[in-house]
Amino acid sequence: MKNPLFRFLYSKVALVLDEPTFWWKLEYRLCGKFWGMPTKDLRRLWCDGIEPTDYHLTDQSPSITGRIWLGIGPDLQEKWWFTLLLPKPVSSRENIDWATLLPPDNVTKWIAVEWDQRHIEIDPAVAVPDID
């Protein structure tokens, strides 16, 4: 992409995701973020699947919850819970802008790991740029 006009136009194209693609991309984004975590305990984590089960779309604090399969090191895999926080209530799954829920590669602080509860909270709205 050497042409500046093409680069500009490409950067303005909205990323459109359907729901199945979103969950697949989130799984891989989590793996990448875990790999780059500052502590060894967190770097050992990897994601092997996400299964949304409950959609709390019209709640005052809307979210999607479900199961997430986390690998811990090379030999252990556990089924945890996850919560994906949504920025605002929506009337249906079809009205979710999935692309806005997928944090870019260059942001951090959107994952909270609660070891004791075997729970991951994902909040794209609190993401901040990585410090290089």
Q: What is the pLDDT of residue 2?
A: 54
| 75: in domain | yes
Mean pLDDT, the chain, rounded, equals 89
User: In degrees to the nearest 10, what's the CA dihedral of 45, 51, 56, 60?
Assistant: 10
List, for residues 31-74, the tens digit of each pLDDT value. Answer: 999 998 888 989 999 999 999 999 999 999 999 999 999 999 99
| 5: in domain | no
Total number of domains in the chain: 1
| 38: in domain | yes
| 117: in domain | yes
Query: 93 lies in which domain range?
Result: 14-129
Distance between CA 106 and CA 86 in Å, rounded? 20
